Amino acid sequence: MYVEQIYTGCLSEASYYIESDGEAAIIDPMRDIDMYLGMAKDRNATIKYIFETHFHADFVSGHIDLSQATGAPIIYGPNAKPSFKATIAKDNQVFTLGKISIEILHTPGHTMESSCFLLRDEDQKPYALFTGDTLFIGDVGRPDLAQQNALYTATDLAGIMYDSIQEKIIPLPDDVIIYPAHGAGSSCGKNLSTDTVSTIKEQKESNYALQAKSRGEFITLVTDGLSAPPAYFPINAEINKKGYSNLDDILEKGLTPISVADFKEMAKNPDNIILDTRSQEAFTEGFVPGSIFIGLDGRFAEWAGSLLPFDKTLILVTDPGQEKETIIRLARVGFDKINGYLDGGYEAWKNAGERSDLIINIPADELAMDYHFDEDIVVVDVRNEREFGDQHIRKAVNFPLNKLVDPAAYLSDIDDNFNLYIHCAGGYRSVIACSLIKKQGFHNLRNVLGGFKEIKEATNIPLEHSKETVN
């Protein structure tokens, strides 16, 4: 028996390769399926099954492409109603894989089709549980992502999840390994651990949600303090239910080089969005005017899904050699309208003598000086509401980045003659925000290097903690 967790950091997503006696199964595959095909080939195995724990909302699964490439059936638990051919398993149905077996445990709550997969070893002893978004390390799946189904509220689903965990997971042997679908950073939960593997025993002892003494307490614990899910979640869930374009077709179109002259013309079309995926340092030093920055070195796919329109066409500016990686990571969250990339990257644009834009970076010490002497200063904090509420600069305004999908709504009361000083926690989100705000015509802005981490170290910047002012 062989089990491997394949972890994708920028989405905090785990898929799994399971193999026994030359037969393999894939659980919750990513959209770029070459890694699974390569593993099976290298190990001289045949992919027999593709298991999906539920209709994922945070990424587009590779189930359809992988099934077409291998002939393996796509298997869901009860209640799933995909628009494509799939096997809808019954609760406790068993699938044989070489000398081992995988049993379907229907565990509704995160969504109504959510299921866990119990792996039994060669002696049919429970060995591992692939929990999807039902049980995480340190958390459980949020119960508010399936509310498009008017039959269930988040409270209803939390109660259903409690029953699922108590009836299906808690009774399992303590030494059963827990393999979840996500780790820290995912928006599918609120308290996920940086660990990506655990056991039933460890989770009984440490997972806050499993400490609940009653169904009612569990419901309160898991529904309290949930932030709004990223805007693209319903779009991705629908794609996973209905199907999608082949990734090879998306790559073929997206990997079209565009000359500087043609790129300049395409940029004039409001239906084309210029996406620059270089580092934040490179972007602030110079970029094609009107570009939106989302760097590959951050939580790229999640911010792309949250901020970019799915009905527009993307044209890319990347570091040379990063075009394919950019397209694959965009496709993972459902973007398939990608019409090519600037041939030669930003350097080609600059060398052609075309007009460029830039963002002025300043250290926190400079903000400290300007804060007390510049009457036209507006400090814009783009961290989320919880971060802002914990501590922020006195008189700062909070424009959470996830809500800047419509920047005009936040900027309507800001005089474009004001000097905007924009910061986040560390510097990545603030550069994204600067690009969005610049696109709205505001150019008197500064990006605070190092974000709030450096601001707290600077002198003479008054900070508010709750209603207290800390100097």
Q: What is the pLDDT of residue 455?
A: 95
Distance CA 68, CA 337 (A): 22
Distance CA 134, CA 402 (A): 25
Distance of CA 68 to the CA centre of its chain: 26
State the architecture of 360-470 in CATH terms: 3-Layer(aba) Sandwich (3.40)
pLDDT digits (tens, 9 = 90+) for 146-195: 655 568 899 999 999 999 999 999 999 999 999 999 999 888 888 899 99
Q: In what helix (H) or strand (E) does residue 422 lie, and over which residues does it extend?
A: strand 419-423
Which one has a higher pLDDT value, 10 or 236? 236
Are domains 245-351 and 360-470 of this chain identical in fold? yes
Per the CB < 8 A criterion, the answer to whether 251 and 244 are in contact is no
Banded pLDDT at 226 (limits 50, 70, 90): confident
Domain boundaries, the chain: 2-235, 245-351, 360-470
Query: Topology of domain 2-235, per CATH?
Result: Metallo-beta-lactamase; Chain A (3.60.15)
Banded pLDDT at 460 (limits 50, 70, 90): confident
Per the CB < 8 A criterion, the answer to whether 133 and 109 are in contact is no
pLDDT digits (tens, 9 = 90+) for 93-145: 999 999 999 999 999 999 999 999 999 999 999 999 999 999 999 999 999 88
Q: What is the pLDDT of residue 469?
A: 47
Per the document, the length of the chain is 471
Q: What is the pLDDT of residue 408?
A: 75
Distance of CA 167 to the CA centre of its chain: 30
Q: What is the pLDDT of residue 438?
A: 93
Match 């980045």 to its residue by tokens.
401
Distance CA 211, CA 390 (A): 26
Q: In what helix (H) or strand (E) does residue 25 lie, and over which residues does it extend?
A: strand 23-27
Residue type for position 176: V
Which residues are within 8 A (CB) of 93 and not within 5 positions of it... i.e. 6 or more apart? 103, 104
Match 């790129």 to its residue by tokens.
263
Q: What is the pLDDT of residue 185?
A: 87
Distance CA 222, CA 161 (A): 10
The mean pLDDT value for 312-327 works out to 97
The mean pLDDT value for 226-241 works out to 90
Query: Topology of domain 245-351, per CATH?
Result: Oxidized Rhodanese; domain 1 (3.40.250)
pLDDT digits (tens, 9 = 90+) for 35-66: 999 999 999 999 999 999 999 999 999 999 99
Indicate whether 374 pLDDT > 80: no
The mean pLDDT value for 249-277 works out to 97
Distance CA 117, CA 81 (A): 19
